[in-house]
Amino acid sequence: MPGAILQSASAPGQSPPLVLAPRPRVHRGGRVFVFYSCAFLMTGFVSMLFADLLWRTGWSASRTLLLVLFVILFLLIAIGCVHGVFGFCLRAFGDRQLITKTDYRSQSLAGTSTALVFPIYNEDIVRVYEGLRATYESLEKTGQLEHFDFFILSDSTDPDKWVEEERRWFELIQELDALGRVYYRRRLDSEGRKSGNVCDFLNTWGRRYRYFLVCDADSVMRGETLVDLVKLMEAHPTVGLVQTVPALVNAESLFGRIQQFANRLYAPLFIAGLNYWALNLGNYWGHNAIIRTEPFMQFCDLPQLPGKKPFGGQILSHDFVEAALLLRANWEVWLAYDLEGSYEEVPQGMIENAQRERRWCQGNLQHGLVLFARGLRGVSRLHLLLGICGYLAGPLWLAFLLTFNWIRWYQKYTGLSNITVHAFTPYLNLSGTAHALLIFTICMAILFLPKVLALIDLAFDGERRRAFGGLARTTVGVVGETIFSTLHAPLLMLWHTRFVVTNLFGASVGWSQQKRGPDGTTWTFAIRRHWGHTLIGLVWGVFMWRLNLYLFWWFTPVFTGMVFSIPLSAWTSRRRLGARARKLGLFLTPEETKPPVELVALRSQMRIHEITDDTTPHRPHAGLAEAILDPYVNAIHVSLLREKQLNPVYAEQLDKLGVGHKEVRGLGEKLLTQGPAQLTAPERLLIMTDARAMVWLHQQLWLRPGETLAPWWRAAIQEYSRRD
Amino acid sequence: MDLPVEPAMTRPGALTDVSGRLAGRPLEEWNAAYGKVENYFHALRIRNKALLGQLVLRVLERAMKRAPAEPNRSATQIAAEEMDRIVTEWFAEVLQEPPTNADQMLSTRGRLALLLADMPGQWQDQFLRPPPWPEEFVHSMRDAYLRAGPDFQLSKMTARPFDLGPITTLTNLGRIPYLKMAVVWGLFVLLLVALFHFTHSH
């Protein structure tokens, strides 16, 4: 690993800026060249064949467009394929260029301090806290707990969630005996979203910690992995960030299990390939990564981008940009892809998955502007570009298919004959049809080669093979996954096209919350989300049928996914189908066949919650009622609010919000006599943010005779008193 | 159980001045007052029924003493006030704070201390009981402090704007009036040109 010289130059009244000397780039430059040259060579060769095919049937403007689209799309799949091939070779012959190959285990954690931060926003709090508990208990077993603190960083705006977060946080610290080890903080505003949330944590406590590790709401980390990450950072003082590769786990639906299977089987190859060219100029995926606090605080506060949406304003997908900023300041960013014990969860249905894709699409498109920022490293621009292409591929593919359809339609309805002429392919002695078939076969080979390589890789690794349930079952799983992804891909194409187009026009894609039944996506919700896909599939299918029956059959994989999108979406979200596939030994992953202790603990805790938690639907404003009525919840809530006032930044924000002003008492009176429904949501939140008002309300509610209170409160007290 | 409770039940004279009335109030009124006080203690997780009953009666006894002097106020109101007073006084005594509770923060601190000391689980019998209390209980109550975060170490991250070079000019294009409309018209014209071109290329 190339070394770097740490320099420091301090200005009066400022913390000394950390400056690292640039490292030589030659070695990696060679790798980037070799890697991408392979993709370009493949693209060049196949594009020539394709251009020749177009030439044989008569060149036209639309064919030029088709060729351009083909070149771009093929390049993207070729890059994917090269990742797989390089990754396979590295795994087969050994990869020495890994941060974990250095001697780091002898490092001591003495004197280090690491914060594990869990930024949350109206999440399923039971799941978040149980993930935290599993991580905490695992870390406790390493005997290194004293070097870590846990922070729940809430940005929740739903009052019910807020109160539940506080109550369950207290229960958690009682159960873990973790008072002073697991902390809770809720921000007063959600400015800057997740990155703003983390930034607020750093501004408040960052200087206490040498490192911080960002976890997602569904993250679980093994204690030993956490210790390893700190040791890695200690051993490499020029490393600013180490990203682990989280394994997808805990999926129960068929969709989730297929995704998790694909992730566990194929990702090791792709990530190894990625590490080949990225090396110490890796990327950050927003969570399950350890970060050196000082340089992050100095270089990674995100600026607003100039201009309007979709490109201007606040940076939505912050992770790639933060990694780019660290790299710009000459800090290293590594992927520690061979560190096990880093987990996250996967959406359980196609619609939930698309919802997540929509957010990421918005953020990635914005990177189009960041691409041009001066001073960024070329590799960072490459990471950003690949992210953008991941979403542009959808509309480009659609444009390719439509252009092809247009050419065929034009040919048919203008009565032009399809006379093939000779080009350089006569040397191959191919007919027009065979020529087209050859290109198609190459495309399919490029698409499926990484999957085959993943299977071969598995075949030669006995332990891993057993963890996947054996080679035969895994092969069947790969076939099943391929069929599913073939049906799913056209839907992603339509979704991505919609997201890209609406984002480019500056509009946000409105999408209501997922309606899930006890066993997945409900049929009504699936119909609402997919009727358009079905219609497009039917219309397109009929069009192709009438256009050319032969072509129709070639296009069936595209239509089938669309036409059957409703049942596909509903059925694959079913847990029982996921369970049945598991019983058959399909789509097994190592975490299913041999579950790690952390995940076993998490699942058993979640099961306990399923059995014991009150599942009756809460009345509206139940959180507000609990925070006022319950003597203990009220005390916790008020105590947390009072602690907030000690922070001058929060104190100023509280004052701006109107906390402590006379008007709040007036709103409190209205709340008692007329009920919460008569207040606006911001008014209710204002009351809940005012410690004195909350104490006063608690006292008044228990002191006043029932007849002076709103009927809503009388009912709430009655309901509350019946609770045991 | 060593509570200084002298339940009104033990002094029949104080109970029934006239038939169907208690301390000058109808029985229903005291029943409602009982319910209110019981609900609050129940909310404090006093689950032992015998203890709960004793505590409620102790509050009601004090309320009954006050009741004749305040004929315009309901028994429930008086009992709730007495309950609040008894609890606050007890908090002040245990936590060694002045019993003013002007801003109700003593009550909040007391409730939090009860929770942190695990009164509902371990010390139900000590609740509202006069001193002396077990050493461990007193320590737990007085040392109780809920830390939601470590000491602040405030700083301020500063964003450095990106230098986008000529791209910055492009991002400002959005400010040109009617730009969107012009773009839409432009696209329409392009579409026409493309249509013409494609349909006349052979």
- Per domain, the residue ranges of chain A are 103-218, 622-722
Q: Find which of A117, A203, A416, A632 to mutate to test the B interface (most B CBs within 10 Å of its CB).
A: A632
Q: What is the DSSP letter of A147?
A: G
Place of tokens 């294009």: B173
Q: Which amino acid is at A724?
A: D
Q: How much is the pLDDT for B182?
A: 81
Of A343, A323, A339, nearest in space to A331 by CA: A323
CA distance A73 to A400: 9
Q: Residue A412, SS3?
A: helix
A511 has a chain B CB within 8 A of its CB: no
Segment A640-693, tens digit of pLDDT: 998 888 889 899 999 998 888 889 999 999 999 999 999 999 999 999 999 999
Question: In the beta sheet, which residues pair with residue A241?
Answer: A291, A333
Q: Is the peptide bond before B132 cis (omega within 30 degrees of 0)?
A: yes
In angstroms, what CA-CA distances link A38 with A31, A42, A95?
A: 11, 6, 19
Per mean pLDDT, which range of A82-86, A121-125, A320-324, A718-722 is the poorest? Answer: A718-722
Mean of the pLDDT values across residues A206-213? 96
Would the pLDDT of A446 be above 90? Answer: yes
- What pLDDT band is residue B18 in, cutting at 50, 70 and 90? low
CA distance A318 to A193: 10
- What pLDDT band is residue B194 in, cutting at 50, 70 and 90? confident
Q: How much is the pLDDT for A109?
A: 94
* CATH fit for domain A103-218, picks 3.30.70.20, 3.90.550.10, 1.25.40.80, 3.40.50.300: 3.90.550.10
Q: Which amino acid is at B143?
A: D
Q: By the 8 A CB rule, do A209 and A114 touch?
A: yes
Element (H, E) at A441: helix A432-459
Q: How much is the pLDDT for A424?
A: 66
- What pLDDT band is residue B100 in, cutting at 50, 70 and 90? confident
Q: What is the DSSP letter of A414?
A: T
Place of tokens 């909310």: B43
Q: Which amino acid is at A78?
A: A
Q: Structure tokens of B86?
A: 């008894």
Shortest CA gap B136–chain A (Å): 17
- What pLDDT band is residue A16 in, cutting at 50, 70 and 90? low
> Nearest CB to A205: which of B105, B147, B150?
B150
DSSP string of A252-277? -SHHHHHHHHHHHHHHHHHHHHHHHH
Q: How much is the pLDDT for A3?
A: 44
Q: How much is the pLDDT for B200?
A: 67
Q: Structure tokens of A698?
A: 């608690």
Q: Structure tokens of A389?
A: 């292409």
Count Cβ atoms within 10 A of the Cβ of residue A662 and give its class: 0-12 exposed, 13-18 middle, 19 or more buried: exposed
pLDDT above 70 as % of chain B: 82
State whether B43 and A630 contact (CB < 8 Å): yes
Bigger pLDDT: B146 vs A497: A497
Q: Residue A4, SS3?
A: coil
Element (H, E) at A356: helix A350-370
Would the pLDDT of B16 be above 70? Answer: no
Bigger pLDDT: B12 vs A256: A256
Would the pLDDT of A429 be above 80? Answer: no
CA distance A652 to A644: 10
CA distance A229 to A235: 10
Q: By the 8 A CB rule, do B108 and A695 touch?
A: yes
Q: How much is the pLDDT for B60?
A: 94
Q: By the 8 A CB rule, do A141 and A169 touch?
A: no
CA distance A86 to A450: 10
Segment A616-630, tens digit of pLDDT: 777 889 999 999 999
CA distance A281 to A325: 11
DSSP string of B147-189? -SS---------------TTHHHHHGGGGSTTHHHHHHHHHHH
Q: Structure tokens of A624?
A: 């507000």
Shortest CA gap B46–chain A (Å): 11
pLDDT above 70 as % of chain A: 92
Q: How much is the pTM? A: 0.89
Shortest CA gap A345–chain B (Å): 28
Q: Name the H helices within A584-646.
A: 590-593, 597-612, 622-629, 631-644
Mean of the pLDDT values across residues B151-177? 77
Q: How much is the pLDDT for A504?
A: 83
Mean of the pLDDT values across residues A443-470? 96
Burial A438-468 (b: 16+ CB within 10 A, else e): bbeebbeebbebbbebbbebbeeeeebbebb
Query: How crowded is residue A32: how many other Cβ atoms within 10 Å of its Cβ?
Result: 18
ipTM over 0.85: no
Place of tokens 């869990």: A118
Per mean pLDDT, which range of A369-373, A600-604, A635-639 is the poorest? Answer: A369-373
Segment B23-39, tens digit of pLDDT: 778 888 899 999 999 99
In angstroms, what CA-CA distances link B7 with B3, B18, B62, B67, B124?
A: 11, 19, 10, 16, 19
Which of A 126-185 lie inside 8 A of B, CB atoms? 149, 151, 170, 174, 179-180, 183-185
Q: How much is the pLDDT for A601?
A: 96
pLDDT above 90 as % of chain B: 41
Q: By the 8 A CB rule, do A598 and A665 touch?
A: no
> Nearest CB to B201: which of A61, A207, A308?
A61
Residue B41, Cα to own-chain centre: how many angstroms? 15
Q: How much is the pLDDT for A445?
A: 97
Which of A 659-718 lie inside 8 A of B, CB atoms? 692, 695-696, 698-699, 702-706, 717
Would the pLDDT of B10 be above 50? Answer: no
Q: Find which of A371, A380, A639 to mutate to test the B interface (most B CBs within 10 Å of its CB).
A: A639
Beta-sheet strands, E only, within A33-129: 114-120
Question: Which residues of chain B lie closer than 8 angstroms to A416, CB-CB?
Answer: 202
Question: Which value, in Å, is the radius of gyration of the alpha carbons in chain B?
Answer: 35
Mean of the pLDDT values across residues A699-704? 91
Would the pLDDT of B121 be above 50? Answer: yes
Q: By the 8 A CB rule, do A473 and A586 touch?
A: yes
Would the pLDDT of A143 be above 70? Answer: yes
A428 has a chain B CB within 8 A of its CB: no
Shortest CA gap B192–chain A (Å): 14
Provide the phi-psi class of B165: left if phi over 0, else alpha when psi is between -120 and 50, else beta: left
- What pLDDT band is residue B139 in, cutting at 50, 70 and 90? very high
Mean of the pLDDT values across residues A187-206? 92
CA distance B34 to B18: 20
Q: What's the mean pLDDT when you consider all of chain B?
A: 82
Mean of the pLDDT values across residues A63-72? 95
CA distance A190 to A200: 10
What angle (nearest 5°) sits at the alpha carbon of residue B111, between those of residues B106 and B114?
125
Count Cβ atoms within 10 A of the Cβ of residue B3 and give its class: 0-12 exposed, 13-18 middle, 19 or more buried: middle
Would the pLDDT of A430 be above 90? Answer: no
Of A153, A230, A229, nearest in space to A196 by CA: A153
Would the pLDDT of B170 be above 90? Answer: no
Which of B 123-162 lie inside 8 A of A, CB atoms? 146-162
Would the pLDDT of A83 be above 60? Answer: yes
Question: In the beta sheet, which residues pair with residue A520?
Answer: A517
Q: What is the DSSP letter of B102?
A: T
CA distance A329 to A351: 39
Q: How much is the pLDDT for A404?
A: 94
Q: Name the H helices within B12-171.
A: 12-15, 27-43, 49-66, 75-95, 105-116, 119-122, 135-143, 167-171
Q: How much is the pLDDT for A7?
A: 40
Would the pLDDT of A492 be above 70? Answer: yes
Would the pLDDT of B14 be above 80? Answer: no
Beta-sheet strands, E only, within A215-305: 220-221, 239-244, 247-249, 289-292
- Most confident residue range from A211-225, A426-440, B93-107: A211-225
State whether B202 and A705 contact (CB < 8 Å): no
Question: In the beta sheet, which residues pair with residue A125?
Answer: none
Would the pLDDT of A493 be above 90? Answer: yes
Q: Residues 6 or more apart from B20 whose CB is under 8 A from it?
A: B26, B27
Would the pLDDT of A517 be above 70? Answer: no
| Chain B residue with minimum CA distance to A413 | B199
What is the domain partition of chain B in residue ranges?
8-143, 167-199
Q: What is the DSSP letter of A12?
A: T
pLDDT above 90 as % of chain A: 73
Q: What's the mean pLDDT when you consider all of chain A?
A: 90
Q: Residues 6 or more apart from A331 whose CB is under 8 A from it?
A: A20, A238, A239, A240, A241, A292, A295, A299
Q: By the 8 A CB rule, do B157 and A199 touch?
A: yes
Element (H, E) at A32: helix A26-56
State whether A695 and B161 contact (CB < 8 Å): no
Mean of the pLDDT values across residues A462-489? 96
